[in-house]
Amino acid sequence: MNEMMDIAPEVAVALADGVGVVALESTIISHGLPYPENKQTALALEAAIREEGAVPATIAILGGRIKIGLTGDELEELASPSSDVIKVSRRDIATIMAQGGNGATTVASTMICAAMAGISVFATGGIGGVHRGAAQDFDISADLPELARTNVAVVSAGPKAILDLPLTMEYLETHGVPVIGYGTDELPAFWSRASGISLTARADSAGAVAAIMKTKWSLGIEGGMMIANPVPEADEIPHPIIAKVIDEALAEAEAEGIKGKEVTPYLLSLIRQKTDGASLACNQALVMNNARVGAKIAIAYAAIAYPKGQKQA
């Protein structure tokens, strides 16, 4: 696999020495935010992880190669409005690489690439899930089956609130994916700290999360886990408020005949308009919070998985 993957020197040294590393996706750069906020956010996330004492590894596919850790020029290439970068999930990885293309990794593909590189912790904003109306169209994000099979702990503010949250949780339960509330007993709903859905597991420290990770994988139980980390209270949009906005946006999407992969970007853009940008500010705050928590977990996991002086194989 090393023949198809370039690991940045900083990341390679950290992995070899058993230092905490946090993977970051690249769709937030290419598709999640406008320029130049996208590049500024990417750099801020990396800086926050370094401030916590871990090493960031933003992941993408450039020139047909998996990149684990990006240079400033590579970040600029992803962020530029004129770039030809496409979203890459599990199904797309081989095609984009074989064709020498450029791809921004989603949650699912970032998990795959992180696991290949030996990175156990990934911080993102929110995960995909079961879409509303999935009983008719079977629209389920590739993030969910990836969580069930790839050994990476994903720190997120829960599934995106535009999804069917109860069915998303049912899917994760059926496929044996632990959902660990980080300092909470309730599933966070992305922009909101509360969803009304109770969790069965809680951890109040990075060390407690790391212990669950180590135990799970030491037992040979394959698959990842979701660390559900609520948005900071000062930055949240309370659930009753955002739920009304989401319902309005869903109704407009249906009236406009928006379907398939176009639904999520349409809804997020419309919700941003309806909240006068508050949803975007909340999004930026929660992903920054997740990056910091991810760094703490990565450091704690490295300490027990790779004791001092023991390097990774």
Give per-residue pLDDT as tens, 180-190. 999 999 999 99
Residue 167 belongs to what domain range?
126-307
CATH number of the domain bearing residue 137: 3.40.1790.10
Whether 95 is covered by a domain: the verdict is yes
Higher pLDDT, 279 or 136: 279
Confidence check: pLDDT of 35 > 90: no
Please report the pLDDT score of residue 154 as a whole number: 98
Confidence check: pLDDT of 309 > 60: no
Catalytic (active-site) positions: 25, 160
Confidence check: pLDDT of 310 > 60: no
Q: Which of 76, 92, 119 is the last residue of a domain?
A: 119
Same domain, 155 and 204: yes
Please report the pLDDT score of residue 205 as a whole number: 98
Whether 131 is covered by a domain: the verdict is yes
Detail the DSSP E strand segments found in 174-301.
179-182, 201-203, 225-228
Same domain, 62 and 167: no
Per DSSP, the three-state class of 227 is strand
Q: Are 42 and 28 in contact (CB under 8 A)?
A: yes
Confidence check: pLDDT of 46 > 70: yes
Same domain, 213 and 298: yes
Q: Are 58 and 113 in contact (CB under 8 A)?
A: no
Computed over every residue of the chain, the mean pLDDT equals: 93
Whether 27 is covered by a domain: the verdict is yes
Per DSSP, the three-state class of 180 is strand
Same domain, 135 and 275: yes
Sign of CA dihedral 171, 174, 180, 184: positive
Same domain, 149 and 285: yes
Number of domains in the chain: 2
Angle between helices 263-274 and 239-256 (to 10 degrees): 130
Same domain, 143 and 283: yes
Whether 312 is covered by a domain: the verdict is no
The Cα 85–Cα 116 span in angstroms is: 22
Confidence check: pLDDT of 149 > 80: yes
Whether 243 is covered by a domain: the verdict is yes
Confidence check: pLDDT of 312 > 80: no
Same domain, 197 and 256: yes
Give per-residue pLDDT as tens, 106-132. 999 999 999 999 999 999 999 999 988
Please report the pLDDT score of residue 114 as a whole number: 98
The Cα 289–Cα 79 span in angstroms is: 22
| Mean pLDDT in residue range 34-39 | 87
Confidence check: pLDDT of 162 > 50: yes
Percent of the chain with pLDDT over 70: 97
| HSE (side-chain half, CA atoms, 13 Å) at 247 | 6
Pairing between β-strand 103-105 and β-strand 65-68 as defined by DSSP bridges = unpaired
Query: Is residue 180 exposed (0-12), middle (13-18) or buried (19+ Cβ within 10 Å)?
Result: buried
Q: Which of 119, 146, 161 is the last residue of a domain?
A: 119
Q: Which of 100, 119, 138 is the last residue of a domain?
A: 119
Confidence check: pLDDT of 313 > 50: no
Same domain, 108 and 58: yes
Same domain, 104 and 154: no
Residue 107's identity, in one-letter code, is V
Tokens, residue 120: 């156990």
Sign of CA dihedral 51, 41, 9, 302: positive
Whether 43 is covered by a domain: the verdict is yes
Residue 168's identity, in one-letter code, is T
Whether 288 is covered by a domain: the verdict is yes
Q: Comparing C-alpha atoms, which of 182, 185, 230 is closest to residue 207?
A: 182
Same domain, 133 and 115: no
* Candidate from 2-6, 24-28, 295-299 with smallest mean pLDDT: 2-6
Q: Comparing C-alpha atoms, which of 269, 294, 223, 281 is closest to residue 58?
A: 294
Same domain, 247 and 190: yes
Whether 265 is covered by a domain: the verdict is yes
Higher pLDDT, 97 or 83: 97
Confidence check: pLDDT of 52 > 90: yes
Same domain, 153 and 64: no
Tokens, residue 205: 């420290």
Please report the pLDDT score of residue 311 as a whole number: 55
Confidence check: pLDDT of 105 > 90: yes
Confidence check: pLDDT of 25 > 50: yes
| Mean pLDDT in residue range 77-104 | 94
Tell me the pTM. 0.94
Give per-residue pLDDT as tens, 213-226. 999 999 999 999 99
The Cα 77–Cα 80 span in angstroms is: 5
Q: Are 211 and 297 in contact (CB under 8 A)?
A: no
